[in-house]
Amino acid sequence: MTDAIRGLGEFGLIRKLTEQLKQGDTVVHGIGDDCAVLAVGEKQLLLTCDASLEDVHFKRHWGKPEDIGWKAAVSALSDIAAMGGRATAVLVTLALPEDLPVSYAEGLYRGLADAVESVGATIVGGDTTASRSGIIIDITVIGEVVGRPVLRSGAQPGDVIAVTGAIGERGAGLHALLHDVDASELIRAYLHPSPRIEAGQWFQAQPGVHAMMDVSDGLLPDARHIAQASGVGIDLFSDKLPKNDRLDAYWKSQGEGGSLQRVRSGEEYELLVVLAAAEFDMICEAFSRYTGLLISVIGECTKSHEGIQLDGSIPGATGFEHFCGRD
């Protein structure tokens, strides 16, 4: 019997496909971070792409077409934020069913363009094709390194790890959509994440920021990416997640504690930031003052174990990954 890619896991599959690839001279950082970094003359470019498929990443009835477009664009723009960079140009691949109403296609594109323009970037091209199987959106973002690219690999034992924003709200919004719960504010948070481009640029300017990525698969799997790339262990503490009465009330109404849901919630598009221990107080305070955003220290880096631990134990299922035999 032939093995199927189901069960290999998204990251296992990527490793298998890409392990033989050659690297060009101008590639500063290739596969393995939020963006690739490419040298172009004196500049360093950031390159990333992100696909959103109907019935895999979204259901059409979840929101307006503008929401679907906005979120698809933010999922790619967020990778530029994660490197501390600036987004400049965007390519949009759209595969659309032939019976899609023109007004829907226009709304989708307007949502995409709004997200792109909100960070000062421009849609410069793309591809438009018929689809026999629902809406497919693939967004490529070209950005520029500002100062330095902040990688996943810079975390050191003793560093602290922090996360921006009301982490977990998008996961609750997704849960509400999937289970038909009336929770409009959380659903709005899920459908309309903010690209943290400005916050990412602020962080890259602080020498005490050692590593960064965005929370797209979930706090636990994304912290594990940092741990692996940096060769450190990471301890996370669920009681350090920022207080959130709305979230607590939501999960209580669903008969759940909520903290496990919050650390496993993907598509948050907040920033996970690793900071030098001596400076984290100063950096966090200045960050909040500058951006008006919440930042919460939720753990620390260690050399006493590998991988991640949550509240002192190795967590089971950690977050979302394609090709794991789950939906």
Helix (H) or strand (E) holding 38: strand 36-40
Q: Does 134 bind its own copies (CB under 8 A)?
A: yes
| Residues 171/266, Cβ–Cβ less than 8 Å | yes
Cβ proximity to its own copies: between 143 and 200 the closer is: 143
Burial class of residue 148 (count of CB atoms within 10 Å of its CB; 0-12, 13-18, 19+): middle
Does residue 229 interact with its own copies by CB under 8 A?
A: no
Comparing CB distances to its own copies, the nearer of 5 and 249 is 5
Q: Decide if residue 114 touches its own copies (CB under 8 A).
A: no
**Using CA atoms in the order 173, 63, 185, 257, what is the torsion angle rounded to 10 degrees?**
-10
Cα separation, 269 vs 194, whole angstroms:
7
Q: Which is nearer to its own copies, 40 or 245 (by Cβ)? A: 40
Instruction: Report d(CA 163, CA 154) in Å as an integer.
Output: 16
CB of 145 to its own copies, least distance (A): 11
From 121-129, 192-200, 256-264, 276-284, span contacting its own copies (CB under 8 A): 121-129
User: What is the β-pairing status of strands 86-97 and 43-53?
Assistant: unpaired
Residues contacting its own copies: total by CB under 8 A: 80
Q: Does 42 bind its own copies (CB under 8 A)?
A: yes
Near its own copies in 1-40, by CB under 8 A: 2-6, 8, 10, 13-14, 16-18, 20-24, 26-27, 30-31, 35-36, 38, 40
| The pairing of beta strand 122-131 with beta strand 86-97 | parallel
Are 145 and 97 a contacting pair, CB within 8 Å? no
Q: What are phi and psi of 144, to 5 degrees?
A: -125, 140
Footprint on residues 243-282 left by its own copies (CB under 8 A): none
Residues 173-202 that bind its own copies (CB under 8 A): none
Q: Which one, 116 or 284, has the nearer CB to its own copies? A: 116
Q: Which two tokens stand for residue 312?
A: 């002192």
**Out of 61, 132, 243, 289, the residue judged to bind its own copies by CB under 8 A:** 132
Nearer to its own copies, 5 or 317 (CB): 5
| Cβ distance to its own copies smaller for residue 206 or 216 | 216
d(CA 293, CA 286): 10
Q: Tell which one of 73, 113, 166, 209 touches its own copies (CB under 8 A).
A: 113
Return the residues of window 54-93 that contact its own copies according to CB under 8 A.
55-57, 88-89, 91, 93
* Least CB distance to its own copies at residue 190 (A): 18
Angle at 67 between CA 173 and CA 35, to 5 degrees: 85
Least distance (Å) between residue 88 CB and its own copies:
6
Q: State the minimum distance, in angstroms, from the CB of residue 147 to its own copies.
A: 16
Tokens coding 117:
């323009």
Stretch that binds its own copies, among 97-105, 218-226, 232-240, 294-302 (CB under 8 A): 97-105
313: which DSSP letter? B
Structure tokens at 319: 């977050």
Q: Could you give the 3-state DSSP secondary structure of residue 66?
A: helix
